[in-house]
Structure 1
């Protein structure tokens, strides 16, 4: 669940304290007692890379659309607060007070959004923290084992350790392990989303919302998607597609239609392409100042997201822009949905204004709402 701090500056003060307290105390009171000079220099280089990547993640603007002019005429979204069009995958951050390109989330620990231009810095920060804390954890455990193995040698016990070393071993070992574990979990979540699935945390939340809605009893999501297809591609509302729509609805009612056969996330292009999209060239990724190198206003779509005229309705549903249900809410706070009725033995789709759960208020299994990622819900209608 998203962390909210009463004093935003604490979001930077706490990580800075942990980096300095663990890193420099471990070096001075513990590592200097047994580690070679070469390994001590390597450890300090790791800490320096943490500071540099953290600084860049904080200070680099995540990216905002400047003089953006959309080429397409469908699925356009206008930000009333920025008074400009929003490119695909962008959202307005209520804290940064700007639209953010490929917004992943607003991070309280950087007092900044994580978006297209600073995502590489943010991920490098996580990587260097993991490398440094893992290296330190190995050294601390090695030192603890060495001291424990020599605890009964009274004649040399005081020559191999000091009281201050024992105190800091006791304090820093669990602290370091806690940081390693929490950052590793966050890193795995980021890699799973962005590299393996090609999606931001917001888009992953969106996919979970859609899937949860689809499998809910009396769900109208399929009807909504069909209606959305007819809105975006009005020429596709043919008798053949109406007949196919009835067949899909029939299969859905019998639970024979899987969610992933009608919903496609358009920006997942495989691990290698996903990596290049968000991190740039793999050969330059560890270079502290490397970035994706593109505008961040348009992204390559996978083959399922390419619309082809007169294709099957199911293929048209897969080609809907993200999110496929439009993510829209009517002015009175209700969701624009559709209703299926039985008329003369056939299912008929009709527009319907119903009181359904608001998109912005839906929670995932982590208890996260859309606004917990920093998104301004007023700009998501």
Structure 2
């Protein structure tokens, strides 16, 4: 039994190390390749598909400047113009930064200060920026700051997708996808015409080698864009219909799994206020102008919530997995760790107690579950946190079946008000596939 537990711990630690190494590779890659390279690449790709197809394929086929060519290609050029304009807005618009004066309501901060020595959780706090996080904001490791309503960091726009440029980004991918589909339709029509002409022995319609090369290149590139950007567009529209960012979609999946496993109390996602209102929050209140570029509504610091939602819930969302939490910056345990590290920096020969497993990187690891046990302070913290969650969820679990809510058995049963900054920037490819959490049988 001890061997199995040790093996499981070693395997978990190995997976965590591999995941950390994988997460560290992407920032280094993005730091090595200047962001402007991605932007220039996108501009060249759009320009090549849009204009080489017209100059070498469509205009010669329609007799250059004719009424038929104008009626066919003007819609394409209008789409391309909207692609470039929305791309420009997505690249150059600041996604949103936390104002220096912003703090959560005093009613949320005051209770935390009163029991700060007991490590009670509170509104989310960013250790990297040393500021409180407004609802739905996250820290971007690439931009090295917190972003309002952060969706994800997109290297293709060399910018974060956040509150201020989220609508521009959604319109950009919609128009890019539509324009490439339009090009594909014209290419297919052109190929059908050529094949039909050859079948009827009209060999003068046979394309030149240059036209064949550009036809193949445009078809391949447009198809790749439609496939990749199309998947992203569908997923973004799905998230927009639920009024959630990519990060929040990931968080909701984790929260739902944790609730099913009985690790946390049920808490409702507060920002899903209905399909129509969800879309209006991103694209504007007038449906006829949803695809027309415009500034985002609101300041990115507060958002409409479901009627009857506890006003504190947006500041606490999402509930954290008790098994993955680290000590709160408000806790005395965190202060003790900082004091020990400061003492060692001043006097390397000083004798201090052994570390209890806290690392500045955000990891909270010990070699064995038996090396650490909850002391009175942390037990009190756990009770206070659970009471806080009870206030938010409106559910009292002592009246429920005994197996519906289980307190985790290890030492990491600590709720923290600060976010793990390393978790805020998640690879976009992982959003379309929900992360699997081991079954409760292994807990």
* TM-score normalized by the length of structure 2: 0.62
User: How far has the Cα of 1:360 moved from its partner?
Assistant: 5.8
User: Is 2:45 the partner of 1:18?
Assistant: yes
Alignment root-mean-square deviation, CA: 3.6
Aligned partners of 1:265 and 1:165: how far apart in 2?
54
Given that residues 53 and 122 in structure 1 are in contact (C-alpha distance below 8 angstroms), is that contact kept between their aligned partners in structure 2? yes
Aligned partners of 1:206 and 1:68: how far apart in 2?
24
Q: Which residue of 2 aligns with 1:329?
A: 326
Q: Which residue of 1 aligns with 2:172?
A: 125
Equivalent residue in structure 2 for 1:62, among 85, 95, 101 = 95
Change beyond 3 A, Cα 1:140–1:166:
same
Equivalent residue in structure 2 for 1:263, among 259, 267, 287 = 267
Equivalent residue in structure 2 for 1:176, among 222, 234, 237 = 222
Change beyond 3 A, Cα 1:210–1:147:
same
User: How far has the Cα of 1:72 moved from its partner?
Assistant: 5.1
Aligned partners of 2:425 and 2:315: how far apart in 1?
24
User: Is 2:108 the partner of 1:108?
Assistant: no
Q: Which residue of 2 aligns with 1:213?
A: 258
Relative contact order higher in (CA < 8 Å, ≥ 6 apart):
2
Change beyond 3 A, Cα 1:373–1:304:
farther
Deviates more, 1:321-330 or 1:29-38: 321-330
Equivalent residue in structure 1 for 2:199, among 132, 149, 152 = 152
Within 5 Å, give how 1:266-345 maps onto structure 2: 266-281=270-285, 282-288=287-293, 290-303=294-307, 305-306=309-310, 321-325=316-320, 328-330=325-327, 332=358, 333-334=363-364
SS in 1 for 2:299: coil
Equivalent residue in structure 2 for 1:98, among 145, 162, 176 = 145
User: How far has the Cα of 1:30 moved from its partner?
Assistant: 0.7
Given that residues 264 and 304 in structure 1 are in contact (C-alpha distance below 8 angstroms), is that contact kept between their aligned partners in structure 2? no
User: How far has the Cα of 1:221 moved from its partner?
Assistant: 1.3
SS in 1 for 2:98: coil
Aligned partners of 1:324 and 1:360: how far apart in 2?
12
Structure 1 stretches of 5 or more lacking a match?
226-261, 308-315, 363-368, 375-381
Equivalent residue in structure 2 for 1:82, among 126, 129, 149 = 129
Change beyond 3 A, Cα 1:141–1:350:
closer
1:103-161 C-alpha deviation (Å, 9 max, x unpaired): 0000111110000000011011011101111111110000011111122344x323453
* TM-score normalized by the length of structure 1: 0.71
Change beyond 3 A, Cα 1:179–1:319:
closer
User: Is 2:245 the partner of 1:200?
Assistant: yes
Q: Which residue of 1 aligns with 2:210?
A: 164
Change beyond 3 A, Cα 1:173–1:322:
same
SS in 2 for 1:41: helix
1:229-278 C-alpha deviation (Å, 9 max, x unpaired): xxxxxxxxxxxxxxxxxxxxxxxxxxxxxxxxx23111000111111222
SS in 2 for 1:167: helix
User: How far has the Cα of 1:33 moved from its partner?
Assistant: 2.2
Change beyond 3 A, Cα 1:146–1:65:
same
Given that residues 266 and 304 in structure 1 are in contact (C-alpha distance below 8 angstroms), is that contact kept between their aligned partners in structure 2? no
Deviates more, 1:9-18 or 1:183-192: 9-18
Aligned partners of 2:196 and 2:106: how far apart in 1?
70
Change beyond 3 A, Cα 1:38–1:200:
same
Given that residues 198 and 205 in structure 2 are in contact (C-alpha distance below 8 angstroms), is that contact kept between their aligned partners in structure 1? no
Aligned partners of 1:61 and 1:78: how far apart in 2?
22
Change beyond 3 A, Cα 1:73–1:325:
farther
Corresponding pairs, count: 312
